[in-house]
A and B are shown apart, each in its own frame.
Chain A
Amino acid sequence: MPEPQPAAQFAHLPQQHEVAQLGIWTFLATEVLFFGALLLSYAVYRSADPAAFAEAARHTKIAIGTINTAILLTSSFLVAWAVAVVKTGGSRFAAFLLWSAAALGLSFIGLKGVEYAMEYGEHLLPGFGFRYDGPASQSVALFFSFYIVATVIHAIHVAVGIAVFAVIGRRAYQHAYSGSYHSPVIVFGLYWHFVDIVWIFLFALIYLPGRSG
């Protein structure tokens, strides 16, 4: 197998690797602010009417939410494992791990779909026949607006991750990565962990209010 060469704009491979790392961290900074604007809006409306947000949160499907959290955390673990493996040259095994992570991502999206279907049936999705009786209906609608926007955007991020892992899994299977060149695995691993962390925040904000004590 020929040694991988750096792209034309780089002097050597380590420089290319550093560039990729800095690039993804900068991209993640952008993402933090992207979700940050949404979380800020949530915080503003929740603090205006905490009781209604707790009431709304009790309508979310916590069982599915919890299973999905476990699924994403597991997939993140597999990705971290793949990074460790690919560094020592275990490219085939890394491919298997990446594909498994992608499969877990798919099941996450599948479960999310089931959840949306249930909520659609209960008229909880604003824009799709939302109906809620009771004095808190306005704030409940805001909660579910936030819920659907945040989770759909998150699911799009998951879908992108799945596609990327399918591709770099294949490249890993073909031994494209080695101890000296494997930055795509690290870079998209970081992306996947970020998506995971966003979910942990969303889980706490969506499923947990009003469920303690």
Chain B
Amino acid sequence: MSGDKNYITVNNSIRSWLFTTDHKRVAILYFASITLFFFIGGAAAALMRLELVSPAGHFFTSDEYNRLFTMHGVIMVWFFLIPSIPNTLGNFIVPLMIGARDLAFPRLNLTSWYLFMAGGATTLYALFKGGIDTGWTFYTPFSTMYSNSYVAIAVAGVFIVGFSSILTGLNFIVTIHRLRAPGLTWYRLPLFLWSLYATSAILVLATPVLAMTLLLIALDRVFGIGIFDPARGGDPLLFQHLFWFYSHPAVYIMILPGMGVVSELIACYSRKEVFGYSFVAWSAIAIACIGFFVWGHHMFVSGQSPFAGLVFSFMSFAVAVPSAIKVFNWTATMHKGWVHFDAPMLYALGFIGLFTFGGLSGLFLACLAYDVYVTDTYFVIAHFHYIMVGGMVTAYFGGLHYWWPKITGRMYPEYWARAAAILIFFGFNMTFLPQFILGVLGMPRRYHVYPPEFEIWHVLSSAGASILVVAYALPLFYLGWSIFFGERSSANPWQTTGLEWQTSSPPPPHNFAATPTVTRKPYDFNVNGEPRAQNA
């Protein structure tokens, strides 16, 4: 043993960080990288909102605007949302939660970070060289034949980052299957792990389809093989099918980890076990499975067969059921509990509200006849931002605050954290509620200039965005401050269950002095809200 050294102090040379195979350090590397990407993608969004204040646009040309929303989409989807919870919190917490010394493949884990950085550098190179203007969806034949931007390079970047996703998913699946501590049966797993397991399955099975599809696009750009070009017998709808076969499940990659985090937070701050544990666990698996068969709901007006439309609509309603189950169970968990309103809980409550609102708006889009009207309008934009930003990003911040003492060994400042949580909630609603209204009024998405009657809602939305900018920058400052000046944290500051709280904060390099043995269910609080010991 290295005495009292934790995983940070054990060796602080640059080299030891860049060649680390410690899952906790890889998590930190990921955390630094995705934070950078979050602010790049956020800057693009802020510039778009600025431009949309006026119907005619003042600051950018249409080409520049188109490059902005493409950059925003590509970076936020592949370089922030997909890796956000799995690769930072997941990487850090999974081995701790199951009582293991590391992930199953530590070197593969580091490789995945390098792939992520290589993909990120490639994409940034394309974006700063002149950008791409296809939208993050890369629809053919526009992306292959008509766009005059750096499509092949950007697509190559996403292709590379896809393999980083696959390696992470593979690592989690194997780790959760094979490295659980003695006594930690499937039904004793914390729900965060069930969620990550379902997420990993999607990462492993859907990402390769995207990889192949993007490869075909890049080859088309470079060699002109014409697989999706109608002028040469190709079928652009085939591209859409392949793209959404990945990209709809990818939505669940983005939200399932958030649901996992919220399950942890609700249980911890209600001092009570999660209501209907097995239903919440299996609903994650159900979402992952059904989620593979709903992709066609992006194509109700695209010219696919109306009967395919019926099937996909039905499946889309079906996939909403397990999400509803989760929401009801989280609410019921608070019943007769001891509810504390620490900042992570505020984020969790915000998540439930925003996710439910976004999820219900999903019903409008699953409903065929109404989707015909609102698809490709701001309604869709508002809907998926409620899920991705209101849901996932809120859960990410919640989880970050919750495990912050474990990661850094310091407490975050509670007052500022609550203020940020509340500000994010209101800023978010002010930004995206007007976009629902714009959608219902028929305002199409990806419009640089727009009819003046929509102006009032755009102005409101941009005003909300300016609040959101401040709200998202706040944690950067107070969390950064807390690393150096925050109050030192004990091993288990929340007095909660879970193996990750049984080791010191920050944890030693190999996590546990001795492999723990688990004898109880997760979230095992007594009626007074006190945890019972996890290991015998």
Taking a contact as CB atoms closer than 8 A, the residue among A19, A38, A146, A148 that contacts B174 in the complex is A19
Q: How big is chain A's contact interface, by range?
A: 35 or more
- At the interface, yes or no: B234 with Cβ under 8 Å from chain A? yes
CB distance from A11 to the nearest CB of B (A): 7
Known contacts A19-B178, A19-B179, A141-B232; A8 and B226 CB within 8 A of each other: no
Q: Which of B38-46, B61-69, B208-216, B257-265 contacts A (4 or more CB under 8 A)?
A: B208-216
Cβ < 8 Å to A, chain B residues 161-185: 166, 170, 173-174, 177-179
Contact among A18, A31, A139, A145 with B208 in the assembled complex (CB-CB below 8 Å): A31
- In the complex the two chains form, is A22's CB within 8 Å of B225's CB? no
Q: Is A160 an interface residue (CB 8 A)?
A: no
A127 within 8 A of B: yes
Q: Select which of A10, A37, A45 is within 8 A of B212 by beta carbon.
A: A37
* A34 near B226: Cβ-Cβ < 8 Å: no
B235 lies within 8 A of chain A by Cβ: yes
Chain B residues near A9 (CB-CB < 8 A): 95, 100-104, 106, 179
The distance in angstroms between the C-alpha atoms of A27 and B213, with both chains bound, is 19
Determine if A23 and B170 form an interchain contact, defined as CB atoms under 8 angstroms apart.
yes
A210 at the B interface (CB under 8 A): no
Cβ-neighbour of B226 out of A22, A35, A142 (below 8 A):
A142
Complex: how many Å from CA A111 to CA B226? 27
What residue in chain B is nearest A33 (Cβ atoms)? B208
Q: Are A23 and B105 in contact (CB under 8 A)?
A: yes
B208–A22 contact, CB under 8 A? no
Say whether A126 faces chain B, with CB atoms less than 8 Å apart.
yes
Q: Which of A7, A33, A36, A145 contacts B225 (CB 8 A)?
A: A145
CA distance A148 to B220 in the complex (A): 13
Closest CB of chain B to A194's CB: distance in Å?
13
B177, B205, B216, B224: the one within 8 Å of A29 (CB): B205
Residue pair A27, B205 in contact (C-beta under 8 Å):
no
- Please, which residues of chain A bring their CB within 8 A of the CB of B219? 127, 149
Partner of A139 from the list B104, B204, B207, B233 (CB cut-off 8 Å) is B233
Q: Is B146 an interface residue (CB 8 A)?
A: no
- CB of A142 within 8 A of CB of B207, answer no
Q: Which of A26-62 contact B (CB under 8 A)?
A: 26-27, 29-31, 33-38, 40-41, 44-45, 48-49
Asked if B242 is at the interface of the complex by the 8 Å CB criterion, the answer is yes
CB of B226 within 8 A of CB of A30, answer no
Report A95-122 CB contacts with B as 1/0, cut-off 8 Å. 0000000000000000000000000000
A-side contacts of B526, CB under 8 Å: none
Question: Which residues of chain B are within 8 angstroms of A31 by Cβ–Cβ distance?
Answer: 208
**Does B173 lie within 8 Å of A22, measured CB to CB?**
yes
Q: Is B206 an interface residue (CB 8 A)?
A: yes
Of A23, A128, A138, A146, most B-chain CB atoms within 10 Å: A23
B515 within 8 A of A: yes
| A15 on interface, CB distance cutoff 8 Å | yes
- Say whether B223 faces chain A, with CB atoms less than 8 Å apart: yes
Which A residues touch B106, using CB under 8 A?
Answer: 7, 9
Q: How far is the CB of A43 from chain B (nearest CB, A)?
A: 10
**A138 and B226 alpha carbons, distance in the complex (Å):** 10
A43 to B215, CA, bound (A): 18
Smallest CB–CB gap between A211 and chain B, Å? 23
Residues of A contacting B473 in the complex (Cβ-Cβ under 8 angstroms): none
Q: B residues within 8 A CB of A30?
A: 166, 170, 204-205, 207-208
Q: A41-B242, A145-B226 are in contact. Are A22 and B177 (CB under 8 A)?
A: yes
Bound CA–CA A34/B106 (angstroms): 24
Q: Nearest Cβ in chain A — how far from B302, in angstroms?
A: 15
Q: Complex formed: what's the CA distance from A22 to B223 in Å?
A: 38
5 tightest CB-CB pairs across the interface, nearest first? A127-B223, A34-B208, A37-B212, A138-B233, A9-B102
24 contacts between A and B (CB under 8 A): A8-B101, A9-B100, A9-B101, A11-B515, A15-B178, A18-B178, A19-B105, A19-B174, A22-B177, A22-B178, A26-B204, A30-B204, A36-B208, A37-B213, A41-B216, A41-B242, A44-B235, A45-B233, A126-B223, A139-B233, A141-B225, A145-B227, A149-B215, A149-B225
